[in-house]
């Protein structure tokens, strides 16, 4: 009798486990598939095996090699005037600037920032030929999104800055996904904001997708990068040394 009870208990447990696996698979949805496909063209996924080990995943790809999308657009001006290609979310209206911080010098950018080693960052920015930037927020919760753009001497300078920037990004990454063609990455930070960081032309672009926007924010940020690269780029992403 005891053996029969053990067999029945084991069978019940196996049926419960099978039901749980089927439920998780059904609930994964197409959003997860979109994020996975966005990184499949650039080799192994940058997301941790648990889907949440963003720090280790970010550190694994932090040094690149990274690529830049060629462009002659003035991205600082486009961001400041809300003329960047729009975030790809159907029910969000045309962007309206609700906050805009302009940076004309290295000091004006670093002074209010939370960069831990400002002297080291300032040296990187100077060596890269910093030409100014802007940090713009569009609309408000629950549709808030934005763009931070830093312009440099050329694409090589922007890529040098990207590598330095990621040394401060990675320790804060909750989830990390690499963009297609090694163009940059998307990460979720501890306050649930999702950011896509990449180089377009002579600028590092840091797109913000608020966690308050419904849907898969990582997929939205990836698609927004792809829209900018398609509409403002003049060719495929390429490695620049």
Mean pLDDT of the chain: 82
Residue 16 has pLDDT above 70, yes or no: no
Query: Where does the chain have alpha helices with state H?
Result: 2-27, 29-40, 54-61, 75-80, 106-110, 118-127, 155-169, 217-232
Pairwise CA distance, residues 230 & 84, whole Å: 12
H/E element, 98: strand 97-103
Residue 7 in this model has a pLDDT that exceeds 90: no
Overall average pLDDT of the 171-192 stretch: 95
Q: What is the DSSP letter of 152?
A: -
Does the pTM surpass 0.85? The reply is no
- In the chain, % of residues over pLDDT 70: 78
Give the separation between CA 178 and CA 182, rounded to whole angstroms: 7
Q: Report the pLDDT value the prediction gives residue 45, as an integer from 0 to 100.
A: 29
**Helix or strand or coil: residue 157?**
helix
Q: What is the pLDDT of residues 43-80, one digit of tens each?
A: 322 333 233 489 999 999 999 999 999 999 999 999 99
């Amino acid at each position: 009798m005891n053996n029969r009870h053990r067999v029945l208990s084991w069978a019940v447990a196996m049926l419960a486990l099978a039901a749980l696996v089927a439920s998780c698979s059904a609930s994964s949805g197409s959003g997860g598939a979109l994020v996975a496909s966005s990184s499949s063209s650039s080799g192994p996924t940058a997301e941790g095996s648990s889907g949440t080990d963003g720090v280790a995943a970010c550190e694994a790809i932090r040094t690149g090699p990274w690529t830049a999308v060629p462009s002659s657009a003035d991205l600082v001006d486009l961001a400041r005037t809300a003329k960047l290609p729009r975030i790809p979310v159907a029910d969000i209206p045309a962007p309206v600037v609700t906050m805009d911080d302009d940076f004309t010098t290295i000091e004006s950018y670093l002074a209010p920032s939370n960069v831990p080693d400002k002297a080291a960052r300032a040296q990187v920015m100077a060596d890269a030929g910093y030409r100014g930037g802007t940090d713009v927020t569009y609309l408000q919760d629950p549709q808030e999104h934005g763009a931070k753009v830093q312009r440099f001497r050329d694409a090589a300078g922007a890529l040098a800055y990207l590598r330095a920037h990621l040394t401060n990004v990675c320790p804060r990454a909750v989830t990390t996904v690499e963009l297609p063609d090694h163009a940059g990455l998307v990460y979720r930070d501890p306050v649930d904001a999702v950011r896509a960081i990449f180089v377009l032309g002579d600028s590092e672009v840091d797109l913000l997708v608020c966690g308050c926007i419904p849907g898969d924010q990582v997929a939205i940020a990836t698609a927004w990068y792809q829209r900018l690269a398609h509409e403002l780029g003049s060719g495929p992403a390429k490695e620049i040394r």
